[in-house]
Every structure is written in C-alpha cells, then in structure tokens.
Structure 1
C-alpha cells in the first residue's frame, strides 16, 4: 500500500454452492436477459457440463444460442466470430461456460459488441473503455484463472505473435456462478495447473506494489484454501467439498489480483505463452518459485509470512528460515504434483527453447504486469530467471 491510500473494487455478484446453477434463471431475469449467447468450447461440451446449463434454460423456455468453438488460447479471430454471431441472432447478454480462454473470449467479444469495434487493438491496455458493456454471466469449469471476478482479459493476436491485455472495471462480469459440479470432471493435470495459476495470482497479489489490507485478506484466503485442498482433490476428484473450496480459492485470488495487480511472474508467463505456446497455468507453476526467489531482496518478510498460510502455526513458529521454508514448500508441492499428475515443472519439460529466451525477455519488459513488480527487473534479470527455470 502506497501513501496510505488504496482503492478496492469487487462488484461481481458471486453465487457459490453445490447447486448454484439453479439460480441462473433468476439472475437472467434481474439482468433483463431473454436471448443469451452461450460461449464455450468443445471440451466442456464433450464433458457433458453444458447440459447442466442448457437443461435449466430449456425447462424455463429461455431462447438461447450457442458458440462452442473457442480454442485453448483465446484469439482475436475467435472474438470476432463470437461478436458476429451475437449480432446475427440479436442476443442481449453473454453466458461464458468454461475456463480462462472461454471467459476472456466472452470479455473480448463484449468489447467488440458494445463498442461496435472490429479492431480490438485500438482498445487494448488499461482503462481504455468508458462505458458499460453487455450483461455477462460467467460459469467457470476450472479453478484457476479467477477471470470470473477480474477486470482483465488476455487475447492472442496470432498475426503479430503477441498477447493483448485488456483491463477495465467495465470488463468485470455481472455474475459469477461457482457450482461444484462444473469442475468434477477436470483431469488431474489440469486441476493442478489451474490451481497453481490461482496460487500464483494470490501470492503475487500479496507481494506486489499495489497490495492493500483488503486484497491481502482475499489473497490469504485463497492461499489457505489451495494449500489445504489441492493435493486432496487430486486423490478425490469427485469430492464436491474439495472442488468447491478450490473454486472459491480461484475467485478470491482473482478478486485479490484484480485490485492489487501481479508482477514479473505474470509478465514472463504471458510472454512464454505467446512465444512458446505454454498454457498459462503451467507457465505459472514453473515460474512461481523462481519469481519468489527474485522478490526476496525486497520482500523477504512478506515471503516469510506466506509460510503461515501455506503450512500451519507450529511450522511457522518453529521455522528458522521462514522465507526459505516458504519457497521449499512450493517446490515440494510442485514436485508432488509432477509425480501425481505429470505437471511440467521446468521450462524444458514444457517445450520452451533456449533460443527463444531473448524474445521472451523483450516481450516481458513490455508487459504491463511488470509495472507492479516489487523488485525492478531488466532484461538480464529476466534472462537469469528463465535460465533458472529451464531445468
């Protein structure tokens, strides 16, 4: 927190529970939505998760349309396709059913629709939007991105080989529905990757320059829930209590970093994704311990405090090197997840090539997230971090 002043904004209505989807119809009525466009991907549809949403709409005679072709990495072309379908069928709201790519696609399409703009590059960046967009309801099927409660979206510009960031309070969804049934079929590796994404959100939010007491409370809650439930849910993937806890953790982490922002870990992670096509959650898992080590020079006490949230009070009190033990716990967690799920924990395992490091570093320096890093980073710092994370 700087100069004894901070701002906190979290207007998204959150519905969470084992049958939270049952409230979808009421939320559509509140938002005056009668002709929604559902946005999803092939995997969600194949897993049968879309049927839970469609059943509710069908039983209440709600007319809706479907776009189910979102790719694993959201792109400008997909955003244009969604916007065109929305206009073609004269829809009045968006329902995103999926993970981060689906949700970001919905946010991007919402910009294109609301501003009648085909070239989204004109609106990329922070606070470029100046009016309310169409109603957006988000139903996450992963527990990681937190995009259901954030003011950001990241969309790939495949022609230029970069990821475009968008940040505005007008991108915050109106409603987020966390239903435990929606993540029950998530495979172990994807469960691990998305949870590590959420953990990285929470930890960077707790360490970055724009942190504040309220965002800290959301970060701490997320860190505790992930540390207490992640390994358990790998063993018991159908446990609805564990699944709901991770879903809530993801949302808490999203609220935290939406207000406090993230830092160098995300800046590099975005660039690794753009250049080497590494899924964001995997990039976050690989980079997290190395990024924390980089932050030690300015944030040793805060990193040490993380030990209490990642372990327990006895471990915290007895530790002679709290910051070192924090990093050890995270590395041990990653090693366990690698053994149990096959989650890559080095850039080499993830298919990143050393010859791309220079391009990744240059992109990272121009990523907006680096602005909020608690430790200044130049190109050499980033290259060093990439080499440390390589193997």
Structure 2
C-alpha cells in the first residue's frame, strides 16, 4: 500500500474551545485582523467576545465585517487595501465557509499586494503566502478550516471558482460545536448537506485514492445520516451538533487530499446567477447527478448506499431509495425550479461551469453537464 496524505493544520476541537481562542491566537501573533460576515457574528455576539478576549491579553486587533454569504473578490481586495499598511501578523477568519474562504484570499492579497482576481482567474500562479490564517468555523458544512482551497466570485466576469496553495491551509483551526447551536434550521440543513456532498464526491472522485479518504467519507455519511435529522428536530442537541461539526472537519481533511465532483462545479453558476446558498444548489443537483452517474461507479455508490441506509445496497433501485429516504428525513428534495430556473437557463449555466471535470468518473462524457442540469429541472 502506498499513498500520500497531508494535513498541517493544528486543531483545537470541542465545546468551550472558543473561550480559549484569544490565548491560542496569541501564540501565533499579537497584531490580529479579524475577518467576519456582515451580520451573524455581530448578532450572536461572537465578534465582541473574541475582540474583548484579545484585548484582555494585550493583543491588538482590527475588524473587517464585509464578507457576503457568497464572498466576492472585490470584498477581499477592499480588505487588503484597507489593512495593508496596518500590517497584521495573523488573520483570524470567524464564521462559516464564506468568511474562511475570504480570509484565505485576504492573507494571499496581504502577502502579494496583488488583486485576488490575478490568482482566482488563473492569470498568475500563487508562489507564496506569508501571513498565517486561523479559522474559527461557526457552521458544520464547508470544512474550509482544514483545507487549502478558497472559493470566491469575480462579479465582473460572473465566474465563481477556486484557487489553492499549501500556504492557504489555516495554521490553526478552533472548532467549537457550541458556535453552531444558534444556526437556524435552514442554515443547518444546507450546510449539513454540503458535508454529505463532500463525503460522497470525494469518495467517488478519481483523485480520492488514499484509503483514509474512503474511511473518512463513509464515516461522515453515517454521521450525517444519523445526526442531521436529529439536529433539525432539536437545534440545542449538542451531541448532534458535535457529530455534525466533526463530520464537517473530516471532510475538510478529504478536500485537502481529494476533490469534489460535478455537483460542485455545476452549483457555482447557480449560486452566482441567483445569489443562493451553496448547499441549496447542491440539493437541487444531487439526485440528477446520482441518477446519471450511478452505473459508472456502481460498486462505490453501493458502498455509499449501505452507509446511508445501514442496509446492504446491491443495485441502482436500492441506492436511489436510500438517497430518497435520507432526503425525506431532512425534508429536502430540491430542483432548479426552486431558483426559478428552467431548461431555457441551461446553456447559460453550462457556459459558466469552471474547473476540471476530469476528477468525476463521468466528467468526460459528452454533454454530461447539460444532462445533469436537465435532470435537475424535474
């Protein structure tokens, strides 16, 4: 057996770890730029708690609260321009995947003094990232706290895509499940489905060859199957919140060592065109992708079906039934109609799909993108 696996992020996981965040941050830097979204962190008091904790330890901080739910390249550039002369020695991203992805763009911009589009649109390779990033996730979804990718939207070209570099791995992740208790059911199910999608896609991906990836994927699918319905019934269920946060973090490990498949590539244009959440777009696409590609990876999909249902899965009918029962348990079964999109929008959406399709076993099939979009209209 031979494989490579890389994970440089130091992790502090558990309820109550957020209270220790100022002390953890102080071991990395004394001049801290905090990056958050526009509303939620202030609403729930998390930003205030963090700033006051840093101040009590004599650690200087500044705050950028300008990150959208679908983070924009222009927001990253605005932050870099504002704080370049202040010269932070560490950036702390507090929030969901949007804040953490923006934080990755910000440490890149502060390091290079270039606009982030240069790297997002592939005009130049990333050669160095000099400023460390600490991630404090407040959703159980993206796993961005333990991977090396950032996903941003260039609003001028209408393209949502990603860039990667080992310097974008957070040097530290402070993962406290208590921070997710305040999530509303809609946010919980959308981010939770992203965990499930990461597990399925990294397992199916042709780049997911390390045995640890398969182990983590199947473990995460079992955790989501059990605990996402529970946390939707009772958002205060801290055991369910713990397990969803753990599954999300595991999928960050997978994303650092494997890749997603067609659903993620196809969701990005939906998110840009409709300004909708990543998880809701994935839910609209996923059944069509599974139905279209099952035969290409039949053995792997059957393993997923068994993890999802707890019963042996031997054919497509049993697999699709397992998926249907899962979506029923979380009360979601979306389509493109949820976004007021139909067949007439498919040519535009397909024209905005970016990134390599080669890691999906079905990626080389002519017309596969349009076929999945078409199936998602039903």
Cα separation, partners in 2 of 1:103 and 1:351, compared to 1, 3 Å:
farther
Say if 1:58 and 1:250 are closer, same or farther in 2 by CA, change over 3 A: same
Which residue of 65, 75, 79 corresponds with 1:78? Answer: 75
Q: How far has the Cα of 1:344 moved from its partner?
A: 6.3
1:38 pairs with one of 34, 39, 42 = 34
Q: Distance in 1 between matches of 2:326 and 2:296?
A: 24
What SS does structure 1 have at the residue aligned with 2:92?
A: strand
Identify the match of residue 163 of structure 2 among 142, 161, 166: 166
CA shift, 1:360, in A, is 1.2
The aligned counterpart of 2:295 is: 297
Deviation digits for residues 265-296 of structure 1 (CA, Å, limit 9, x no counterpart): 11111222223333111111221222122222
Shift of 1:325: 2.6
| Distance of 1:369 and 1:208 partners within structure 2 | 12
Structure 1 gaps of 5+ residues are none
With over 3 angstroms needed to count, the CA separation of the structure-2 counterparts of 1:48 and 1:354, relative to structure 1, is farther
SS of the residue corresponding to residue 308 of structure 1 reads helix
Mapped contact 2:105–2:116 kept (Cα < 8 A):
no
Q: Secondary structure at the match of 1:386?
A: helix
Q: Is the counterpart of residue 374 in structure 1 residue 370 in structure 2?
A: no
Structure 1 residue 124 displacement after superposition: 4.2
Displacement of 1:35 in angstroms is 1.1
Shift of 1:45: 1.2
Corresponding residue number in structure 1 for 2:195: 198
* Correspondence for 1:285: 283
Partner in structure 2 of residue 139 of structure 1: 136
Query: Is the 1:301–1:323 contact (alpha carbons within 8 Å) kept by the matching residues of 2?
Result: no
**Greater Cα shift, 381-390 or 53-62:** 53-62
Q: Give, in whole Å, the separation in 1 of the partners of 2:334 and 2:317.
A: 19
- Which stretch shows the higher mean deviation, 372-381 or 102-111? 372-381
Equivalent residue of 1:37, what SS? strand
Cross-structure match for 1:356: 345
Are residues 123 and 154 of structure 1, via their aligned partners in 2, closer, same or farther at CA, if it must alter by over 3 Å? Answer: closer
Q: 1:244 to 1:127 in 2, by over 3 A?
A: farther
Measured after TM superposition, the shift of residue 223 of structure 1 is: 1.3
Verify the 8 A CA contact 2:202 2:213 in the aligned structure 1: yes
Query: Which of 197, 209, 226 pairs up with 2:224?
Result: 226
Query: What TM-score, normalized by structure 1, do the two folds share?
Result: 0.90
Q: How many equivalent residue pairs? A: 376
Taking the TM superposition and a 5 Å limit, the aligned residue runs for 1:101-140 are 101-122=98-119, 124-125=121-122, 128-140=125-137
Q: CA deviation at 1:58?
A: 3.1
Deviation at 1:22, TM superposition (A): 3.2
Q: CA deviation at 1:199?
A: 0.7
Query: C-alpha separation between the residues in 1 aligned to 2:292 and 2:246?
Result: 29
Q: 1:354 to 1:155 in 2, by over 3 A?
A: same
Matches within 5 A, 1:8-23: 8-23=5-20
Confirm or deny that 1:186 pairs with 2:183. yes
Answer yes or no: is the 8 Å Cα contact 1:151–1:172 preserved in 2: yes
Q: Deviations over 1:12-56 (max 9, x none)?
A: 11111011123323432332x001111111122112232332342
Q: Residue 147 of structure 1: CA displacement? A: 0.8
8 Å CA contact retained: 1:207, 1:374 = yes
Partners of 1:141 and 1:59 in 2: CA distance: 23
Distance 2:13 2:335 in 1: 34
2:50 equivalent to 1:53:
yes
Aligned counterpart in structure 1 of residue 309 of structure 2, from 282, 303, 311: 311
Question: Displacement of 1:385 after TM fit?
Answer: 1.3
Alpha-carbon distance in structure 1 between the residues aligned to 2:2 and 2:362: 21
Q: Secondary structure at the match of 1:220?
A: helix
> Structure 1 pair 173/162, CA: closer, same or farther in 2 (3 Å)?
same
- Counterpart Cα distance in 1 of 2:6 and 2:94: 24
Shift in CA distance, 360/379, structure 1 to aligned 2, threshold 3 Å: farther
